[in-house]
Structure 1
């Protein structure tokens, strides 16, 4: 059981021991945790009918080092439990209608900053070694994580000859595509709240098959991390009904660059060939000054 579910259970089990004011706070959190997660202690106290100091003391008595720690647990709860409709309601209260651009960008910047401070560098380096030494590389991500998997797959296909981006139309198709994943292979699973059961089951299957499993997710308590040999943790958030996955994309970008630097000679030859192909088949729009530069007499 994760810490967020522990909190709700703890509030329910200890209700009879709380004071009148504490009961009001506890019932509000149980019934409106989506709103409480982004309320200040003063605002929560105002809505419940108690003082700000009562709210702060209540968080301390629950075993949290201050009210912000209690908020953090509640925020973890809503990321994985709220429906899309509830997420929309919560974010509307949280962001408001004014300056949405600034609010969302500021939140994304904060998530990258926290990720940079908290990410395990040894786990990142171990993941690089695992990928470089793998016989086959499988990449899996569904729903809102699918673009992340596609981005990683696009660049890994330029770096390696043994990459398979797992297509995820159905559960059976996922298993059919990873059925041969075994010892010496690596399966990279990407999943963020609300976690995909298809990804979880696929990673469990790959683990049982003997493949090395790498999770790119938001927490070590994430269900996909439970089956991983190594995990890259990146903070995610919700921007209204949409998932904010800027920090995960940044970590994936770092992974691509790190692996690419280790395969620099191979990558150089690949891009040299691709540039000729792109020119021949006019893949990219080419500004006039590029032709002039190439015709210049050096």
Structure 2
């Protein structure tokens, strides 16, 4: 029995030549809902949507919950688990697929080959993030908190290390004391406790799938020490989100063997922008100083 990742490796193998026929609506939905962590109730929702797409795509969350026999929060959790910011975003995607399946309906644009389909999925994640940014209040408020925390701790373990390193690298240009934690266990606990003792107030934690158990433990240690936690992840609900003070949930690309992070990357840049806006004078002074050092030691090639 192959693991979920092995199955993805087989399903996402890159093929050459012209794109084949467009996948059927049911096949598109099965791909969309192909998540190994779906609970039995969530699988019921997925099965209902696949079997009754042309009707279900236009139901309200209340009506869908009643048809399936689950609660409204269960539908919301399902939308989050399959990579959407909420039920409205999932319904938009379902309607696009359903309209392409109806007689005389607009055909969905040819998805092309597997690599193009992966890009299409990331475009969808970015569109969902754009809708979330319609109200930038949470991003701006969190940016102020991160900017004011000295030191500021950035936590990312296992697959999430890359996002944490990117954020920490950029944040050091505008913040005087950024501490990066990329090892779990007692090493992470020591770093978090020392950060709190030094006056830190916030931790920015990254948790991408597959979610590491040690990340949850580290977040609990941070909260226990009195640190606030801002979490960047792909799930709006679950044990990690329950522990965080603020959660930014955005989809990851899951069409290929390994996930891609277009939307989390943009979210990182947005939080960095919010930090610069929170203290523009400090930001400008630090950037000016860095440019002087970079010129002096010729860090970069000339354009």
Q: Same fold (TM over 0.5)?
A: yes
Candidates 161, 164, 167, aligned match of 1:146? 161
Displacement of 1:238: 1.1
Q: TM-score, normalised by structure 2?
A: 0.64
Match of 2:295 in 1: 279
Change (3 A) 1:242 1:184: same
CA contact (8 A) 1:190 1:215 kept: yes
Establish whether residue 99 from structure 1 lines up as the match of residue 113 from structure 2: yes
Count how many residue pairs are aligned between Structure 1 and Structure 2: 234
Change (3 A) 1:71 1:210: closer
Match of 2:68 in 1: 62
Q: CA RMSD in A?
A: 3.8
CA contact (8 A) 2:83 2:235 kept: no
Match of 2:182 in 1: 167
Distance 2:156 2:175 in 1: 19
Counterpart secondary structure, 1:224: helix
Deviations 1:255-281 (A, max 9, x none): 111211333322222232322322232
Distance 1:74 1:261 in 2: 33
Distance 2:248 2:83 in 1: 22
Q: TM-score, normalised by structure 1?
A: 0.65
Displacement of 1:199: 1.1
Distance 2:80 2:256 in 1: 14
Displacement of 1:226: 1.1
Q: Which has the greater radius of gyration? A: 1
Change (3 A) 1:255 1:195: same
Higher helix proportion, which one?
Answer: 1
Candidates 124, 128, 145, aligned match of 1:130? 145
Displacement of 1:244: 2.3
Change (3 A) 1:194 1:125: same
Displacement of 1:77: 6.6
Distance 2:117 2:291 in 1: 40
Displacement of 1:159: 0.9
Candidates 35, 60, 81, aligned match of 1:76? 81
Counterpart secondary structure, 2:210: coil
Displacement of 1:283: 1.6
Change (3 A) 1:247 1:64: farther
CA contact (8 A) 2:139 2:270 kept: no
CA contact (8 A) 1:184 1:212 kept: no
Q: Report the more deviating stretch, 236-245 or 116-125.
A: 116-125
Match of 1:216 in 2: 232
Counterpart secondary structure, 1:236: coil
Deviations 1:96-143 (A, max 9, x none): x95223211111111011122135633223212221322321100122
Match of 2:39 in 1: 5
Match of 2:241 in 1: 225
Q: Where does the alignment leave 5 or more consecutive residues of structure 2 unmatched?
A: 1-36, 85-110
Q: Where does the alignment leave 5 or more consecutive residues of structure 1 unmatched?
A: 12-25, 45-51, 80-96, 288-298
Match of 1:111 in 2: 125
